[in-house]
Every structure is written in C-alpha cells, then in structure tokens.
A and B are shown apart, each in its own frame.
Chain A
Amino acid sequence: MKVILKFLKKVGFIILSLAVGLILWQAFTTYSDIPSFIFPTPFDVWEKFLSVARDGSLLFHTLVTLQEVLLGLTLGLGAATLTGYLLAKSRTVERVLSPYIVASQSIPIVAIAPLLVIWLGPGIFSKILTSALIVFFPVLVNTIVGIRSVPVELYELMRSLQANHWQRIIKLEIPAALPVFLGGLRIGATLAVIGAVVGEFVGADKGLGFLVNVGRGLYDTSLVFVSVFTLVILALGLYGSVVFLESRLLSWKKRE
C-alpha cells in the first residue's frame, strides 16, 4: 500500500508539473502577438501529432532513428568497453592511445559528421557512427575508472584462490566496475540520441532529425515540436532503461 501511495505521489507531481507547463505555454501563445506558424499552440502541436501519427510517418521516422541510436549505442559501448579495459590494464596502451582519444574529444561531433556522411554515404551507417562516436568517450572514461577502482586486496584474494583470467574478469572486475560503468552508460544512452540526430541533420532522407529539418524548411514549427518531443521521449526511454538495469544489477548497493 505504502509503495503504491508513494508511486502515485511521484506520478502525481510529474503530471501536475506537465499540466502547469502546458497551461503556461497556452497562455503565452494566446496573449502574445507571435503568429502560430512561428510558435505553435499546444493544440496545433497535438493536431500535427495526430496527423503524422495517423499516416504512419511519425512511427516510420521514429523507428529509423531508434534503430540508428540502438546500433550506435551498441557499437560505441562495445568499442569503449574494450578500449577502456585495455587502457585500464596497460600503461603502454594508455600512453599510445590517449593523445588520440583526448584530441578526438576536442573536435565537436558536428564538425566531423559531414565527413562521415561523405565517407559512408547518406544512409544509416554514418548516423550509427556519429552516435557511436559521441557515446564512446563517457563510457570509455567510466570503464577505466571502474576497472581501476577494483580493490587490490580482492585481486590478491583471486590470486590466492588460483583464479584464471576469465574468472578474474567475470567474478571480480565486471561486478566491481559495474556501478561506475553503468553511470557512464546513463550519460551515453542520452548522448546516443543526440549523435544520431546530428548525423541526420547533415544528410538524411529519413529519421526524426530529418523530420525536424523538413519542418524547419516548410516553416512547419508544429512538426518541429512533434519531432523534438518524440526525441525527448526516446532519450528518456533509454535513460529509464539504464536506470532500470541499474536497479536490477546493483540491488546490493544501498541507495538513499
């Protein structure tokens, strides 16, 4: 009972906050002189949502972006975890690779996205790559910090128990590094959406980023709003999935 009440209270606050936001938005558009094609009312956006939802185009573009995001996230995650592990384990690898990694971080993703589109074409691959690139760094850093935070005493314990490499990785390093690693994944999951949209902005004929571009070109601000909201929901969904994963995998950690 208590849990349900607590949940309802939490949801209640979210609904209340959204409702206040909508009212303010409506009030702003009603009492200001800004024409609705520049700044649409909530009602315009809702109408637009219904029309693109009905003709299936919203779902189509959402699925395209979702696919890019998920593949980009997987790729970025895989590459970052492997590289991170190697970097954490070997000072030599760290010395060789770190100049490139740090340098790559000083280049804004928008600046290299056009290059990727030129190299990989306007299809889905360039978006997967922009998404993977943006996911890479936070996951990499957290993997390194996570692996380096494994207590020396536990390594000693594993050694005294004659554990082999795989056992050390599976029974010690992965569970010990997981809290920090998942923190990186939280950041990476939301960034993956941004990466895919940046790729779509540069050159694409489908996806939510493309839809934003179309809306901009047509002065169809309602369409831009619908696309942006969908992106926000996508990012929230991914973030929520990671939080859910954390609550399942890290149930041993005490939370406040």
Chain B
Amino acid sequence: MNSVNNQQPLLEVKKLGVTYTDEKGSLQAINEISFSVEREQFICVVGPSGSGKSTLIRILSGLLAPTTGAVFLDGSEIKKPRQGVGIVFQKANLMPWRSVLRNITLPLEIKSVPIKEAESKARELIELVGLKGFEDWLPQDLSGGMLQRVAIARSLVQDPELLLLDEPFGALDALTREKMGAELLRIWRARKKTVIMITHDISEAVFLADRVLAISPQPGNLRLDLKVDLERPRHEEDRFTPEFVGLTQQLREAIE
C-alpha cells in the first residue's frame, strides 16, 4: 500500500514527556517514555489509573501535543490529528441522531467521499463487526457492546494503518468484554492493522497482544516491555496455562 521502507518501525515514540500546568501548579503525567512499534503488531499498554495511559493515546492520536520529546509515524512527526490513524474512545462517542450506518460513514463524509461509496464501505465494515441487520438502528437502541462495535467500524472505515484504542471495553461487563476481545483479534487478523490498545486489565492485555507495555503511575514511566509469545489464534482456555499466568504475574509485579 505504501512505498515506505518497511524495515522502519511504523511508530516511534522518542523521550516523550508530558507535564500539565495550570494555576495551581504542574503535574507530570508522563516521564520520558520511548518505544517503537513494528507494522501489524498488536500492542497493549497496561497501567493503573493515573499512569498517563489516556494521555499517551491522546498524544499518539495527535489530539494533544507532548511537552518534551516527539512521536513519529512513518518517519514524520505527529503534531495534530492526521490521516491513517483510527481512534476508538472509552465511550463509543456516537452521534445519537445518526443511524449505525451514518455514524460509520461520518469520517468519509468529512473527507468528502461520495455518499454511495461511503455507504458501501460502511456496509462492509458493519458485516465485519457483526452488526448486519442493524444498519438503520439508532445508538439509543443498541447495547454497550454493540455501540463499541460501531465505534470500531467507524475507526476502520478510512482504512487506517494505525488503530488506537483507549480502554474501549472498560464500560462493558466481563463476559461481553472477553467476547469483544476475541472479536477484536478476528478483525485485526482480517484487516492487518497495527493496533495500540490501552487497558487496565492485565489478563486482557496478555490475551490480545504481541507485546505489552507496562506503565507505572505518577509520573508515567515505562516499567516493562514484555513480548507475548503465545501461539495464535488464542482461545479463552489459554488464560489458564502456566505461560499465560506467568506473563500476567510479571506484568503485575512491574506495575506495583
């Protein structure tokens, strides 16, 4: 799809630091984090609340500028939101007046893609995320899991290279959460994206990722960069294998 040298990592985070300043003083949210992400990798970032996870995703998406350091996507610095990055927020963030189909076509409408073309792309994704038949439903009539499916479809509609997910399943119940994790893996395999997902659920992180970054709180520091060498496709039962438990143990110790 692109002619960029594929040896180069897709994303490079270099000495990233964030300090929030207001009248009351300043708060260091992230303290010098550096890492890089290869193409088509699935990365999870875990950490307790207050570890600057959301701040990190806001910087990667270009919604927030770092205080120090920089982030490079395909070799060019991210300074503001840009093409090629899809975001799924904590809340589904759908427009309540738009149907499922129209929520998914929104990013393409903004790019002035003809509506017929936008709709056909959206329909493809609706099928991919398992919402066929719900095209004309309104967000208010959907369950939490379905809402996040719509949000995922919306983030994929522009065919981004990098997909950022900020605790997308945080508001879901445990069972739906596991199911959505498996769904996300299926979508990731089907679409070959680079994924960075924030979560506070260590088990979820190990289950999903190729690599898990553990961040400690206040200020956010990269404590552990853990490679997850578990065989794919993964199954729910894998969560009880000694390797899996060992990895979660390692992450837990790194964060505490």
Residues of A with Cβ closer than 8 Å to B? 153-154, 156-163, 167, 171-172, 175-176, 250, 252-254
Contact = CB atoms under 8 A, between A and B. Distances in A.
B63 A156 contact: yes
Nearest to A249: B97
B9 interface: no
B95 A160 contact: no
Interface in B119-143: 138, 140
Contact of B87 (A160, A250, A254): A160
18 contacts: A153-B91, A158-B110, A159-B63, A160-B61, A160-B62, A160-B81, A160-B87, A161-B110, A162-B82, A163-B110, A171-B95, A171-B106, A171-B109, A171-B110, A172-B95, A176-B95, A253-B97, A254-B140
Contacts of A156: 63, 89, 93
Given A160-B63, A160-B87, 4 more contacts: A160-B61, A171-B106, A171-B109, A252-B140
A80 to B, nearest CB: 23
B93 A252 contact: no
Among A157, A158, A252: residue with most chain B CB under 10 A:
A157
B37 to A, nearest CB: 19
B81 A154 contact: no
Interface string B65-77: 0000000000000
Contacts of B81: 159-162
A233 B81 CA distance: 53
B50 interface: no
B219 interface: no
A27 to B, nearest CB: 51
Contacts of B138: 252
A175 B97 contact: yes
B170 interface: no
Contacts of A158: 110
Contacts of A163: 110
Interface string B41-84: 00000000000000000000111000000000000000001110
A250 B98 CA distance: 11
Contacts of B110: 158, 161-163, 167, 171
Contacts of A153: 89, 91, 93
Interface string B87-101: 101010101111000
Given A160-B61, A252-B138, A254-B140, A154 B89 contact: no
Contact of B97 (A159, A161, A162, A252): A252
B153 to A, nearest CB: 14
